[in-house]
Amino acid sequence: METIIPAKQDLPLTFQREQVQAILNCVAAGDSCAVIGIGSVGKSNLLRFLLRDDVRQAYLGDEAAGYLLVYVDGNKLLKPTLWGLVELVLHQIGLALAQREVEPAVLKIVDDLHRQAARRKTRALALRYLDRALNVVIQQLGLQLVLLLDEFDELARTMPPRGFAALRALRDDHKYRLMYVVATRLELNRLREDMREIEMFDELISPQTFWLGLSSEEDARLNLSRLMARHKIDLPAGVIDQLLSLTGRHPGLLREAYRAVREQPPDLGQALVGDPQVQTECRRIWLSLAADEQQVLVTLANGTTFQSQQAGALARLRRKGLVSGRSESEITFFSPLFGAYLKQQQPVAGARIYADPQRHTLWLDGREVKGFTPLEYRLITYLAQKQGQICSRDELAAHLYPDEMAPDSVGIADTRLDSIVKRVRKRIEPDLQEPRYLLTVRGHGFQLLDNLGGQI
């Protein structure tokens, strides 16, 4: 049976002390909460760290045994829908119970409920099966259940309101014995426009929002020492200090900076500014931000006039640890490397789909999609440039095959175009049966969108 992999056992109990204490205090009070953090800042590592028995014992004491923490990774969804979430939660509950070595009869009940929820014929009843499984865990076993919902951004954007209503209803049925810890890059009210329809769920988590910023110096040095041990290449103390300063102790940047300087180039700062992988990590941070936050950063990086209406976005950037300083004139960026990257940028509205011509890749929700053939990349970049517009088949065929568009070649171009569209969808679509980004507009052509809702 698959096992849940906890955080690395060599992480000390002091790892992310402040954040761990805040989250587990919230859970102990029977409350749900939100964890907000930029890309690659360590949200997943933090949630996995909570799975360790010694961590819960250290923070919850004698009450620790009464909690079942279940890690639910949104990247493992079979479909980005309410059904996909229910199926995955049932699967992960079964794994978590197996690790606790509960009675085989109880495991069989949960496993059977999961099988029923996964069957196409009974899929519509999946929520009912989850309800029964929660009763087994909470009522029969007497445990308090905490669902650690990681990588929740896509579901937060696309799940229909009734999905959030169902999560709230399950919580209300079990009161303070079912809690959610929801980890995202942006606040829920910045991921959706229909907040009024999901406010009952939002009011569960938003009052207890914890901002996951940069690593403490202790944790950053620990991360770097683990990297050096893994690769068996140590760095001089002076270089370590430089890395911590240049990266601002951002975990992802620190990892890539260490990789780049293992050979200790003569000009450390300049070498890192131009390193492709460091640039990629900066881009991951950049694309995890909202458009108004990007605009503020570009304004600050280029020394242009700061507008009063940008104060809200600036406050969020402070909470995320990206900027510091008491006034706009004193603002500094967390990392000189990221500051250098900002001077090359323009805000990307929505920041969901972004074609990077320099690296021949596509960024989708902060995730880099690689491996496109030249024709596939020409198609997706053309559609990205005209995002939201319907592009006709003839227009796309002429762009892809400019030398072959004689009148008698249209049918051949259409066949090739369909093949390329199919291959691109395999790379970017979570569900090929229900495309949400690259759409076919019958009788007209194709359209690239980044804001479609999902369905169960």
Give per-residue pLDDT as tens, 315-335. 999 999 999 987 767 889 999
What average pLDDT does the segment 357-376 reach?
78
The predicted pLDDT at position 407 comes to 45
| Position 3 confidence tier, pLDDT thresholds 50, 70, 90 | very low
**What distance in Å separates the CA atoms of residue 155 and residue 89, rounded to the nearest whole number?**
14
133: left (phi over 0), alpha (psi -120 to 50) or beta: alpha
446 beta partners: 391, 440
Residue 347 has pLDDT above 50, yes or no: yes
Question: CB atoms < 10 A from the CB of 191, how many?
Answer: 18
The predicted pLDDT at position 358 comes to 67
181 beta partners: 33, 148
**What distance in Å separates the CA atoms of residue 272 and residue 308, rounded to the nearest whole number?**
34
Q: Vertex 289, ends 284 and 294: CA angle to 5°? A: 105
Answer whether 251's CB lies under 8 Å from 40's CB: yes
CB neighbours of 47 closer than 8 A, spacing ≥ 6? 35, 71, 148, 150, 181, 183
The predicted pLDDT at position 265 comes to 58
**Residue 439, helix vs strand vs coil:** strand
The predicted pLDDT at position 349 comes to 45
Residue 390 has pLDDT above 80, yes or no: yes
Q: How do residues 108-163 score in pLDDT, each as one tens digit?
A: 999 999 999 999 999 999 999 999 999 999 999 999 999 999 999 989 988 999 99
- pTM given for the model: 0.82
The predicted pLDDT at position 352 comes to 65
The predicted pLDDT at position 16 comes to 95
The predicted pLDDT at position 267 comes to 66
What average pLDDT does the segment 309-314 reach?
87
CATH classification of 353-448 is 1.10.10.10, yes or no? yes
The domain limits of the chain are: 17-211, 216-350, 353-448
Residue 310 has pLDDT above 90, yes or no: no
Best CA proximity match to 81, nearest among 135, 162, 145: 162
**What distance in Å separates the CA atoms of residue 156 and residue 195, rounded to the nearest whole number?**
11
What is the share, in percent, of the chain residues with pLDDT greater than 70?
A: 89
146 beta partners: 69, 179
What average pLDDT does the segment 322-351 reach?
80
**Residue linked to tokens 């009052």:** 207
CATH classification of 17-211 is 3.40.190.10, yes or no? no
Classify residue 112 by burial, with Cβ atoms within 10 Å: 0-12, 13-18, 19+. Answer: middle
Best CA proximity match to 277, nearest among 359, 213, 348: 359
Amino acid at 219: D
Best CA proximity match to 185, nearest among 152, 217, 218, 210: 152
Answer whether 454's CB lies under 8 Å from 159's CB: yes
| C-alpha separations of 270 from 138, 261, 322, 439 in Å | 56, 11, 21, 43
Q: Which residue has the higher pLDDT, 288 or 137?
A: 137
What average pLDDT does the segment 50-56 reach?
96
Amino acid at 289: L
Provide the mean pLDDT of the chain: 88
Q: Vertex 55, ends 52 and 59: CA angle to 5°? A: 145
**Residue linked to tokens 């009952």:** 200
Q: How do residues 168-206 score in pLDDT, each as one tens digit?
A: 999 999 989 999 999 999 999 888 888 888 999 999 999
The predicted pLDDT at position 454 comes to 35
